[in-house]
Amino acid sequence: MQLAFPSDSKAAYMSRLMIAGVAVAGASLFAMNAPAPAGPQVQHRDVQLTAGELDWATVISDAQANLVGLQGDAIKGGGDLSAALGNVSGHFGTQITDALTGFETGIQNALYGGWYGSDDGYVFGLFGGTVTGPQGPETNSLIGLLSADFQAGHAEQAYSDFNAYTLEVTDHTLRPLLSPLVDETDDSGATTYSIPVELSQIQTDLLQTFGDYNELKDALQSVLSPEITAQLALTQDLDTIAADFAASNTTQGMSDIDNLSSDVFGALINGYDVGTNPVDGSPQFFSGLLSDGSLLQHLLLIWPEQFVTALGSLGA
């Protein structure tokens, strides 16, 4: 039998249908215009989405499956981020360690070693050392050279020997000590960048990744999607229930009412499949709190992976 509506009730019903239609249309545009996440392409799992009438057992089993997937996301995202940060820390730590080792070697040679250079020739340590050059190894000390120079009355040569020594000591101690803080280009043209420059590049990459408009829009979508998903499921179920009673299908209508709460809650938690996009034929679904594309997945996997990518070669 046909249900009769009082004129005022019928108007309210038509108003509700119009509101539901606007909500559905807005939700469809939300899905059709959703941008792809910036940064790395994350391998999404097969997610559990609600579709149609669901009982509570199905809602709970789908939620459990999604939680297992999120646990895997957390393991992967956390592991990759930890490894990348460890590599960056190790990279900077190696630079600092090399600087201290180079400084220590420079001090050792300044006291008990020496250097040979094409500009200064043989330069010996303060207390002596053996230095190998084109003429083979030679052994001497700065003290010995200065003593010989003064005994021979060669004050100018003494100054030259001492000047060469101070220049070499400065170059072989200060240069390695400052190497983590300044860029250095070798004879082949290869440049080793300093820690401040590398940190600045990482900061720039992070700002470009997470300061992008599409990235912020995607984050907002992950926050709003569960509420929109639940509203969409509610409006579609209400339309179905109204159609059932309008067609005098009371049994189906009561069944749909009985499943209304599980449908809406399932959509909120596990997402909602709305079929294919009428424009391009692509699959359309709205994410829930636990499903693929949710805020939790962004926190556990998508954003950590983007952070790893932003670290660049230091995080590889």
Q: What is the pLDDT of residues 272-307, one digit of tens each?
A: 887 777 788 777 788 999 999 999 999 999 999 999
Using the predicted structure, report yes or no on whether residue 10 has a pLDDT greater than 70: no
Write down the pLDDT at residue 117.
86
Write down the pLDDT at residue 132.
94
Dihedral-angle region of residue 124 (phi above 0 means left; psi in -120 to 50 means alpha; beta otherwise): beta
User: What is the model's pTM?
Assistant: 0.70
Banded model confidence at residue 189, pLDDT cuts 50, 70, 90: confident
Nearest to 256 by CA among 21, 55, 20, 31: 55
Pairing between β-strand 283-286 and β-strand 272-276 as defined by DSSP bridges = antiparallel
Banded model confidence at residue 24, pLDDT cuts 50, 70, 90: very low
pLDDT, the chain, mean: 84
For residues 33-41, average pLDDT:
42
Q: What is the pLDDT of residues 89-113, one digit of tens each?
A: 999 999 999 999 999 999 999 999 9
